[in-house]
Amino acid sequence: MHEMALAEGVLQLIEDAARAQAFSRVSTIWLEIGQLAGVEAEAMRFCFDAVARGSLAEGARLEVIATPGSGWCAHCAASVVLTEVFGACPRCGRYQVRVTGGMEMRVKELEVG
């Protein structure tokens, strides 16, 4: 379950931000996860709850914002919505699509106290 390692990374980012910005508690984390990132939102919530125990983020609400996958089709010369990394272009059916978005995961916002 790679979500556990990702959750640990998110907690580390929050702890680093807490030191830099002098806050001691986090109540909500907004986390953007791309549709093509291969991260299961419910598994991420479960893992984050586990790694946050005893930290400044214990009990914090993890809000997941799903971002769509996107790509550029070399054959159509068009930006297209993607639902899988190695999928065909939804317009022409060819497999000449380069992923341009939806692979990322980032902490978008924190509600702190």
Confidence of residue 1 (pLDDT cuts 50, 70, 90): low
Q: How many structural domains compose the chain? A: 1
Residue of 104 and 1 predicted with greater confidence: 104
Query: Region 67-85: what's the mean pLDDT?
Result: 96
Q: Where are the beta strands (DSSP E) in 55-95?
A: 61-67, 69-73, 78-82
Q: Is residue 11 situated within a structural domain?
A: yes
Helical spans, DSSP H, in 1-113: 2-21, 41-52
Q: Is residue 96 situated within a structural domain?
A: no
Shortest CA distance to 60 belongs to which of 111, 22, 23? 111
Query: Region 44-49: what's the mean pLDDT?
Result: 97
pLDDT at 42: 96
Q: Is residue 7 situated within a structural domain?
A: yes
Question: What does R_g of the chain's alpha carbons equal in angstroms?
Answer: 17
Query: Region 54-58: what's the mean pLDDT?
Result: 97
Shortest CA distance to 58 belongs to which of 5, 105, 7? 7
Q: Is residue 88 situated within a structural domain?
A: no
- For residue 13, give the CATH number of its domain: 3.30.2320.50
Q: Is residue 82 situated within a structural domain?
A: no
Q: Is the dihedral of CA 12, 14, 15, 21 positive or negative?
A: positive
Q: Is the pLDDT at 18 greater than 90, yes or no? A: yes
The span from the CA of 10 to the CA of 26, in Å, is: 12
- pTM of this prediction exceeds 0.95: no
Q: Is the pLDDT at 49 greater than 90, yes or no? A: yes
Q: Is residue 84 situated within a structural domain?
A: no
The per-residue pLDDT for range 82-105, each reduced to its tens digit, is 999 999 999 999 999 999 999 999
Q: Is residue 77 situated within a structural domain?
A: no
pLDDT at 113: 80
Domain range for 52 is 2-68+102-112
